[in-house]
Amino acid sequence: MSVSPKIDLARHPLTHWAGPLGLPDFTRIEDGDFGPVFDAALAAHAAEVDAIAANAEPATVANTLEALELAGVALDRVSSIFWCRAGAHTNDAIQAMEREISPKMARHFSAISMNEQLFARIDDLYARRAALGLDAETLRVLEKTWKGFVRSGAKLDPEGKKRLAAIQEELASLGAKFGQNVLADEKEWVLFLDEGDLAGLPEFVRGAMAQAAETRGQKGKYAVTLSRSIYEPFTTFSERRDLREKAFKAFAGRGETGGATDNAGVVRDTLRLRAEKAKLLRYDSYAALKLDDTMAKTPKAVMELLEPVWNKAREKAAADEAELQRLAAAAGSNDKLAAWDWRFYQEKLRAEKYAFDEAELKPYLQLEKIIDACFDVATRLFGVTFKEKPGIAAWHPDARVFEVFNADGSKRGLFLADYFARQSKRSGAWMSSLQSGHRLGKGSTPVIYNIMNFAKPAAGEPALLSLDEAKTLFHEFGHALHGMLTDVTWPSVSGTSVSRDFVELPSQLYEHWLTVPAVLEKHALHYKTGKAMPKELLDKMLAAKTFGAGFATVEFTSSALVDMAYHARPDAPAEPAAFEAETLEKLGMPEAIVMRHRTPHFLHVFSGEGYSAGYYSYMWSEVLDADAFAAFEETGDAFNPAMAEKLRKHIYSAGGSADPEELYKAFRGKMPSPEAMMEKRGLT
């Protein structure tokens, strides 16, 4: 690889951030710049690493571990902007670049982890670690780095190293392809409806559908799309069984359309390569490899959590199904309840049981007020405050910039947020960072962002959220706080750089504060009258919180169990689709419920390695979050200052600076049991 003479990394807007508030100057970034800047940044990083490896001096923490962590600043910068664009505002050029850069990055990092000279230095430090007088965080970083090298093949023979590098590269390409296929299917499918097809749909669904049709050039029509913000309410409310079936089949069939975007081959190859990788590294299975550095540690521990939950959830869902079937019969339907009926009759059952429907809540859940609520809770718990800085260009005109301040008024970092769905954005909601916070070297302050996919309202109309969407906003903001409150020395353990089954604790825990009555009373205000949500509606909503738990838990847990089934075996299934069907059959999956994420569009598991053999993590974290919120409830104050300070110190600001089990115990005094989670879900 040669350094392009045209790229000066010290001056280029992708790597030299000269915009307002220390952000990149997005107005000067061209799509065509990514390729050459990536090449230059990769070469610069490789040269830095080579210099560290070739140092004639004996290895020290400063000349090896610290030098390694501080290397690659330009690569970090161009990568963070690129991956932000790839998820939140992509186009054909970015997608082509993504296919090109994914294997290049994999090759680059494989080469580093298989650099023998470099590993010899790390290995030497690791062997002498007890005598180096290291503080606890530095010792942990050294241990994690050493283990990371070993897991990446540092101890393999040359043949094994070569094979592992090839596998990593191929897996990276397959992951990128998988995600793009799903996005293509979501973009491709749309069902245009007329006024007469809208029976049962509340105003907010019609509005979102009209807007979606207009952006697709069909003003006056109504579009059903596969964005969850439209798909879920459509199948919840539409009286038209035939249309619900059509939408359901398209949604459940993403990635399985038989054409160029079909993911069957991608999944088959991915599973085969993952199994081979695990074998090469001498693990019993890919799941054993992935779980090695988590809180759960083994597939057995995961199954011990999932199995009892699965059985309870199925019982609950079976009881619900009987009631839904009764409602369907009462409505004059002789058909057996199908998957496209579940949400519809469940909503009717909710209305019958709790005498309110979701649509009644929506006028009280204004996006702007719920954003305020997120900020307000953070201020009350942790003392941080937020100030919007309008007019600063980011990756898209919808993206907003906020400055974040500590309680004493000093600067903490930046928070960016991009709330509305558009065709250039992949589905879902997530948090990521442009820059992480740490104190090593010159240090750096966190620049964190949230991406949402709420339906964009027509001009002049307020954006209104469903309760689930408001929860998602709190969830992702919880992740953002984990990034923004970080208080560690080493970049590699900053913010959300923790094990997967611990990373959902700060986000899922934060959701609890949305439904604290004091928060809703202050922020859940009607968009027309400005009046607070009536006490009666609030009580009904809180009473209904566990409603539908059977369905939701079956949807989730089946996905987690299929993920584990794929990866906890020593080999790979020849036909993943058949294996998915067999696994569900064995589990006794209810016929009228589908997995929340079926294999052909299970992005968590197949669009990268992040959540592979790791979808269970959400539930693992839920055990933690239910127990952690109970700690506040036990004091009788959801904002108990002493508890909030412990939470900040040991969880939100600690990153991965210590073992997650130790961090949790430092906050709570003990490890949790699943009871609080089962109770919270209404499964007991």
Active site residue ranges: 476
Query: CB 229 → Zn ion: shortest distance, Å?
Result: 17
Residue from 560, 445, 441, 433 nearest 497 by CA: 433
Distance CA 307, CA 303 (A): 6
Query: CB 616 → Zn ion: shortest distance, Å?
Result: 13
Query: Phi/psi at 224 (nearest 5 deg)?
Result: -90, 125
Residue from 41, 634, 593, 157 nearest 342 by CA: 593
**Please, which of residues 492-511 interact with Zn ion by CB under 5 A?**
504, 507
Distance CA 30, CA 678 (A): 50
If DSSP codes are grouped into helix, strand and coil, which group holds residue 466? coil
**Residue closer to Zn ion (CB basis): 90 or 507:** 507
Six-digit token string for 260: 């160029």
**Residue closer to Zn ion (CB basis): 412 or 482:** 482
Query: CB 506 → Zn ion: shortest distance, Å?
Result: 9
Report how many residues bind Zn ion under the rule CB under 5 A: 2
Query: CB 624 → Zn ion: shortest distance, Å?
Result: 13
Amino acid residing at 496: T
**Residue closer to Zn ion (CB basis): 38 or 618:** 618
Inter-residue contact 488 to 657 (CB < 8 Å): yes
Looking up tokens 């990635």, which residue turns up?
255
**Residue closer to Zn ion (CB basis): 12 or 479:** 479
**Residue closer to Zn ion (CB basis): 29 or 448:** 448
**Residue closer to Zn ion (CB basis): 119 or 652:** 652
Residue from 621, 611, 405 nearest 508 by CA: 621
Distance CA 201, CA 203 (A): 7
Distance CA 414, CA 380 (A): 19
Query: CB 659 → Zn ion: shortest distance, Å?
Result: 21
Query: CB 484 → Zn ion: shortest distance, Å?
Result: 15
Number of H helices, E strands in the chain: 28, 7
**Residue closer to Zn ion (CB basis): 321 or 511:** 511
**Please, which of residues 16-45 interact with Zn ion by CB under 5 A?**
none
Q: Is 432 in the site for Zn ion (CB under 5 A)?
A: no
Query: CB 470 → Zn ion: shortest distance, Å?
Result: 15
Query: CB 323 → Zn ion: shortest distance, Å?
Result: 31
Handedness of CA 136, 141, 142, 144 (dihedral sign): positive
Which residues contact residue 173 at a Cβ distance below 8 angstroms, ignoring those fewer than 6 apart? 99, 102, 103
Residue from 603, 346, 361, 587 nearest 337 by CA: 346
**Residue closer to Zn ion (CB basis): 98 or 504:** 504
Inter-residue contact 103 to 172 (CB < 8 Å): yes
User: What is the DSSP-derived secondary structure letter of residue 533?
Assistant: P
469: left (phi over 0), alpha (psi -120 to 50) or beta: alpha
**Residue closer to Zn ion (CB basis): 33 or 511:** 511
Distance CA 556, CA 604 (A): 12
> Using CB atoms within 10 A of its CB, is residue 23 exposed (0-12), middle (13-18) or buried (19+)?
buried
Distance CA 554, CA 594 (A): 8
Distance CA 473, CA 216 (A): 26
**Residue closer to Zn ion (CB basis): 277 or 475:** 475
404 has which bridge partners?
386, 413
Distance CA 349, CA 548 (A): 10
Six-digit token string for 292: 């090695």
Inter-residue contact 462 to 456 (CB < 8 Å): no
Distance CA 369, CA 545 (A): 21
Distance CA 593, CA 573 (A): 24
Residues in the chain: 684
Query: CB 683 → Zn ion: shortest distance, Å?
Result: 21
Distance CA 429, CA 508 (A): 14
> Using CB atoms within 10 A of its CB, is residue 107 exposed (0-12), middle (13-18) or buried (19+)?
middle
DSSP readout, 216-260?
A: TT-TTSEEE-SSHHHHHHHHHH---HHHHHHHHHHHHTTT-SSST
Residue from 234, 233, 252 nearest 243 by CA: 234
**Residue closer to Zn ion (CB basis): 504 or 627:** 504
593: how many CB neighbours lie within 10 A of its CB?
A: 22
Query: CB 479 → Zn ion: shortest distance, Å?
Result: 6
**Residue closer to Zn ion (CB basis): 507 or 583:** 507
The residue number whose beta carbon is nearest to Zn ion equals 507
What residue ranges bind Zn ion (CB under 5 A)?
504, 507
